[in-house]
Structure 1
Amino acid sequence: MPKGNGAKGEKLTLKVIKKAIWMTLDGHRRLNLSNMGITIFPKCVLKLTNVDELDLSRNLIQKLPDNIGSFWSLRLLDLHSNKLESVPESIGNLVGLTHLNLSNNRLISGGLPSTLGSLTSLKSLNLGMNQLDTLPPTMEALDGLQELGLFDNLFINLPEFLKVLRNLTKVNMKRNPLSYVQGDSEGMHKEQAEEDVYLVHESSLCRTCLKKCQEQREGFTGGGGGGGDVFEEKRIRIYHGLMVPNSVATVNQDVWRIRKVEHKPIK
C-alpha cells in the first residue's frame, strides 16, 4: 500500500483527513486514522489545531515528526501498534496531554526522551509491548499519573521513582524478567524471571482481596510469623500505598489500550 494512503488507496490530504474527524460523546473532537496502512506521519494533521484526540494506532509509522510538540491542543494521543523506535523530544511540549498510548512498538530505553517528564497532565501512560528496561528518571515529575502500562518489556527492576508518584493507582508489569532475589544463585534468578506483577493501590481492592494481599505481603516480607528465613530469599520491594504482587483489582487491569468510543460525525 502506498505510503500516506488510506485503506482504499485515497491520498491523505488535509481535506480527506478533515472528514475523519468525529465528535465523541463527551464533546471532544477525535481524528481517527487507525488501521489505514500509513507509513509516514501525515504532517498536514498538525494543522488541525482544534483536534483534541488523535488515533494513529495499528499503522506502520516508523518515525514521528520532530515538531509533534506543536500539536498543542491534544489531550489524547494513541500510537499503539506501529513501528516506532524513538519519540522526539518535542513531545514534552504537549503539556495538556492526559492519555498517551505507545504500546506495541519497537521503543528502546534510549529512544525515550527526558522531556516525557514535562507531561505533567498525564493520567494514563501505556508503554507496554516494547523493548524497554529503564525509564527516564525525569518521569518522577508525573505527579498526576494514575495508570502506567509497562507489560511485555525487559525490566529487571521496578523503576525507583514509582514510589514518589502519589496518584499512581495501577501499574501493569506483567511478563517482564523481574528479579527480586538478593542472592547470587543463577537458578533462583531464573525461577523469578517472567514474573507477573501488578502494583495496585489499596483503594482499588475489594475488602476480601485487600485482606488476602495483606496476608501475602506479610508472608513475603517475613512478617507473618514462622518461615522467616524462607521468605527472606524471596523478599520483594514494598512501595508505599501499593500492593505487590499479583493483586486483583476491582477494575479490570488488562484493558490498557484506548477503548473504542461511539461517535458521530461533525456537521
Structure 2
Amino acid sequence: MVKGKKKSNDPSGRKITLKMAKNALKVTVDGKRRLDLSNMAIATFPKCILKLSDVDELDLSRNLLKKIPDTIDKFVNLRLLDLHSNHLEQIPAAIGRLPGLYSLNLCNNHLTTSGLPHELGLLRNLRILNLGMNRIETLPPSVAALKELRELGLFNNLLTLLPKCVQNLPKLQKMNIKSNPIPTDEPPEVDCIQRVECLYLVREDCLCADCLKRCKEDRQKLDSRISAASTLKKSIFAGLLTPNSVAQENQELWR
C-alpha cells in the first residue's frame, strides 16, 4: 500500500474519516463523551461525525472551518461546543436547537453582528459564551433571554457601547469587554461586573498576522515587567543577607 503524502497546503483541508473520529473520542473526568478534533487542519465540517452525534462535547477549535452546517442540531446531547480559532463568518440558526448547551466558544473567528443569529437566545441553559476576538459591533437583542449566563467574553471586538441586552442578565458574574472602542465615560453598570482575561494556547501558525503582532507586543510588555520586577526583587533581598545569617546561627543553637 502506497502511503499518501500529507497535503499541508491543501485548501480543502484534511479529510476526516469515521475511524479517525472514533479514535478521537475521549471520556472526561466527569464521565462525558468528548469528540476532540481540534487543530487538525479541517476546512469542511466532517459529515461522518454525524454518526457520533450522541457525544456530550464537541471540540473543532483551531481548524480552518468557514461554515457550520444546519445539521449541528443533530448533536442533541451537546453540552459544550468549542469552535474557537476558525474562519467562521456566520453561525447557523440551528444552533438554537441545542437546548442542553452549557458552553459555547466562538472566540477568534471572523464573526460580525449579522453573523450572530437571534436563535442564540434559545440557549436557555447556556452558562458560558465567548465571542472575543471577532468583528462584532453589537449583540442581537435575543441575548437578553440567556438568563442562566454566568460568563461572557466580548474582548477585542468593535463595540462602541455596552449592549443593553447584557446589562440585566440576572446571573452574569464575569464579563470581559477589554480592547473595544468603548468611550472611557461608559455608564457605571460596567463597574458591577467583574472583567476577566481569557487565555488560549495556540501555535503561531494558527494566528492571523494582526493577532500574532498583538501577541508579540503583549509578550514584550510582559517581559519588560518581569525584568523590572526581578531587578526590584534582587535589590530587596540583597539587604536580607545579615538577617538570614543570624537566623542560621539561631538554628544551629536550637539543634
Same fold (TM over 0.5): yes
Query: Corresponding residue for 1:116?
Result: 120
For the 8 Å contact 1:82–1:105, the answer to whether it is kept is yes
Q: Percent identity?
A: 52
Unpaired runs of at least 5, structure 2: 1-7, 202-255
List per-residue Cα deviations over 1:101-151 (Å, max 9, x = no partner).
Answer: 000000010011000000011000000000000111011000000000000
Q: Confirm whether residue 238 of structure 1 aligns to residue 238 of structure 2.
A: no
Q: Confirm whether residue 143 of structure 1 aligns to residue 86 of structure 2.
A: no
Query: Corresponding residue for 2:204?
Result: none
List per-residue Cα deviations over 1:128-183 (Å, max 9, x = no partner).
Answer: 0000001110110000000000000000000102222100001100000002xxxx
Distance 1:28 1:54 in 2: 11
Residue 50 of structure 1: how far off its partner (Å)? 2.2
| Greater C-alpha radius of gyration | 2
Residue from 189, 197, 210 that aligns with 1:254: 197
Q: Confirm whether residue 87 of structure 1 aligns to residue 37 of structure 2.
A: no
Q: Confirm whether residue 162 of structure 1 aligns to residue 196 of structure 2.
A: no
Residue from 32, 37, 43 that aligns with 1:39: 43
Q: Confirm whether residue 99 of structure 1 aligns to residue 103 of structure 2.
A: yes
Residue from 37, 52, 59 that aligns with 1:55: 59
TM-score normalised by structure 1 residue count: 0.68
Query: Corresponding residue for 1:216?
Result: none
For the 8 Å contact 2:54–2:76, the answer to whether it is kept is no
Distance 2:200 2:80 in 1: 12
In structure 2, the residue corresponding to 1:243 is in which secondary structure?
helix
**Hey, which bits of structure 1, 4+ residues long, moved more than 4 A?**
none
For the 8 Å contact 2:32–2:57, the answer to whether it is kept is yes
List per-residue Cα deviations over 1:209-239 (Å, max 9, x = no partner).
Answer: xxxxxxxxxxxxxxxxxxxxxxxxx4x3122
TM-score normalised by structure 2 residue count: 0.71
Query: Corresponding residue for 1:27?
Result: 31
List per-residue Cα deviations over 1:182-226 (Å, max 9, x = no partner).
Answer: xxxxxxxxxx4xxxxxxxxxxxxxxxxxxxxxxxxxxxxxxxxxx
In structure 1, the residue corresponding to 2:149 is in which secondary structure?
coil
In structure 1, the residue corresponding to 2:167 is in which secondary structure?
helix
For the 8 Å contact 2:139–2:165, the answer to whether it is kept is no
Residue type matched to 2:187 in 1? R
In structure 2, the residue corresponding to 1:47 is in which secondary structure?
helix
Larger relative contact order (C-alpha < 8 A, sep ≥ 6)? Answer: 1
Distance 2:71 2:199 in 1: 27
In structure 2, the residue corresponding to 1:110 is in which secondary structure?
helix
How many residue pairs are counted as aligned between the two chains?
Answer: 192
Residue type matched to 2:108 in 1? N
Distance 1:254 1:16 in 2: 34
* Greater percentage in helix: 2
For the 8 Å contact 1:98–1:121, the answer to whether it is kept is yes
Distance 2:122 2:77 in 1: 16
Residue type matched to 1:243 in 2? D
Distance 1:74 1:55 in 2: 11
In structure 1, the residue corresponding to 2:73 is in which secondary structure?
helix
Distance 1:115 1:256 in 2: 27
Q: Structure 1 residues 32 and 50 mapped into 2: Cα distance closer, same or farther (>3 Å)?
A: same
In structure 2, the residue corresponding to 1:161 is in which secondary structure?
helix
Residue type matched to 1:238 in 2? P
Query: Corresponding residue for 1:17?
Result: 21
In structure 1, the residue corresponding to 2:171 is in which secondary structure?
coil
Computed over aligned residues only, the root mean square deviation of the Cα atoms, in angstroms, reads 1.8
